[in-house]
Structure 1
């Protein structure tokens, strides 16, 4: 079974891509990912805060995001928590490109336009095949309008696209009020792909120590439904590559996302749980399912369960919501 896919014009041997995570901090791991069938690798995120060390700008962003209490600032990473600077990051790209043939995608998490532009250009010069823009921004200031939030995203995309020639993917928040329209506007701003969705690490409370906890929980398979919904709705309606992320634990989630219309499916949690060779297992199970269903290649079934292709498009809309409620006894 042929499982080749295309993402932002990049040719991939598999639709399964390693999403941004600490596993890619080591070049040997990236080689291992390729050896076990990864279609591409998104490197761990480069954080502008770690590079710039500018407390004033960081505090400004914090105040824009959540200014409710001093304790709330504990939710944000301390500068010392970031362990890779720009030189190390760029060297990681160069070393990876020397040793692997799969696309290597840089991941940038910035806070200022200057940062987005400078570091995107440096990633391109280091040999990155594309850039994933991870816009981690929670509009906690209640005076900030939705138009201002949207403008922030669009301005970042335009700034980067005016700077680099390689493809740019945008890792999106799921909280826009008009996701479809925002997708079209991002396309117009220059985006080449959308990554659905950015999984914000939300704080929890330690009720004994009275502090905000920042522990990391891996995604679970039941979290695929929101990105599955929007990929199914956007497929065939926006001229953008669509990447699915969140909740990918096995080939089952990979298949579902591709049926909805995803060009690639990204995973990290499954590799933390099962180790990097699990990529080979997912590729094998994907091919076995394709053989069982009579599909020769990915395009034979990609988008077959999208709103555009299913016989009853209302399954994505309010009518299906009513059916679900009626079925609850």
Structure 2
């Protein structure tokens, strides 16, 4: 390619506007740093912003941590019920005081919100209804631009029906929406009997975004020690197929924002998610593997793709989503049959 042609291509790439909207928030780019270890300090969050991410989702504050604080507060108050009434300035302090995990989270959230010019989204992780959801108000007061509810719930009670599991998610969403004015996203697993119908109900219930999907952390077995081994592995690109499939199906059937997460490793994965209909593309694994600066590479690749195809971001988004006029069941079924036919031709004897 001649130098002049290279310069023209670079110039077209530089002109690509990646500004996007996610759950009512304006983001400078569609790549978002999802909840993970890179949000544990203001400096690392600033590095993500400098690399071009459109927003940062902080690491999760867990329901169990909130419940522990609440229970601890009750114990402290009960232990001091016989204190002298004359000590009007006295108020019992909790074990751990300002060094507690929740206090640290809120302090980091406040400092991060002050330091960043991009949205900082707090993450609240839980699986049960209850007073812990009121923590969302404290997250809002600390400066969160939005809240991501990570509803990681594996029904261990086999008597629970599918509708009861879904209702719990709806109640958690509603309890948080009742106490905050900022947008609320719901991060979900794909394991529902009819995920599409459930997604439409969550949209109607006021979810400002659906984050697809939460990774189901499956334990393994050590056959030598004969014990269950828990652990965590970074995601791989093939894991992105499931969220893209559902985003493509939902794109024209819900009004809420859609975020793709899991399996985002390179710029190609970002492009695929956008073409399927994602408003934003979230990643942690790629940034943990290669550093916060890798977000710049993801965005550069996206810009090159859009410039090469002479597409705007809005024109590319949903370009390969399931057509609204198509029968989703027949559409997916035809893809399934086609895939098996290809497999027979390729691997058949």
1:167 match: 183
**Distance between the aligned counterparts of 2:227 and 2:138, measured in 1?**
38
How do 1:216-255 residues align onto structure 2 when only pairs under 5 Å count? 216-255=232-271
Aligned to 2:125: 109
What per-residue deviation string (whole Å, max 9, x for no partner) do you get for residues 247-267 of structure 1?
000110111011011000000
How far is the alpha carbon of 1:207 from its aligned partner? 1.5
Task: Choose the corresponding residue for 2:320, options 286, 305, 317.
Answer: 305
Cα distance in 2 for residues equivalent to 1:99 and 1:302: 31
1:289 equivalent in structure 2: 305
Residue 191 of structure 1 corresponds to: 207
* Aligned position for 1:269: 285
CA distance in 2, matches of 1:312, 1:288: 34
Report the RMSD for the aligned CA atoms in angstroms: 2.0
Counterpart in 2 of 1:73? none
Matched ranges for 1:1-329 at <5 A: 1-53=16-68, 85-295=101-311, 297-308=312-323, 316-328=331-343, 329=345
In the aligned structure 1, how far is the partner of 2:49 from the partner of 2:318?
26
Distance 1:243-1:84 versus aligned 2 partners, 3 A rule: farther
Rounded Cα–Cα distance in structure 1 between residues aligned with 2:42 and 2:225: 39
Quick check: 2:45–2:112 contact (8 Å CA) kept in 1? yes
Kindly indicate whether the alpha-carbon contact (under 8 Å) linking 1:51 and 1:85 is maintained by their aligned counterparts in 2.
Answer: no
Shift in Å at residue 128 of structure 1?
0.2
Superimposed CA distance per residue, residues 174-218 of structure 1 (whole angstroms, 9 cap, x where no aligned partner): 011111111121122221110000102111111122222122111
User: What's the secondary structure of 1:17's corresponding residue?
Assistant: strand
Secondary structure of 1:125 counterpart: helix
Structure 1: state its 5+ residue gaps.
57-82
Query: For the structure 1 residues 91 and 152, does the alpha-carbon distance in structure 2 shift closer, same or farther, using more than 3 Å as the test?
Result: same
SS of the residue corresponding to residue 141 of structure 1 reads: coil
Q: Offset at 1:312?
A: 10
| 8 Å Cα contact 1:108/1:116 also seen in 2 | no
1:211-234 CA deviation, whole Å, 9 max, x = no partner? 221221111001111111100000
What is the alpha-carbon distance in structure 2 between the residues aligned to residue 38 and residue 289 of structure 1?
18
Deviation sequence 1:78-137 (CA, Å, 0-9, x none) = xxxxx9711111111100011110000000012443344321111001010000000110
Match in the other structure for 1:68: none
- Report the alpha carbon displacement of residue 282 of structure 1 after superposing the two structures with TM: 0.7
Q: Under a length normalisation based on structure 1, what TM-score does the superposition of the two structures give?
A: 0.87
Cα distance in structure 1, aligned partners of 2:260 and 2:69: 33
Query: Who is 1:72 aligned against?
Result: none
How many angstroms apart in 2 are the aligned matches of 1:106 and 1:54?
Answer: 18
- Count matched residues: 302
Compare CA radii of gyration and give the structure with the larger one.
2
Deviation at 1:13, TM superposition (A): 0.6
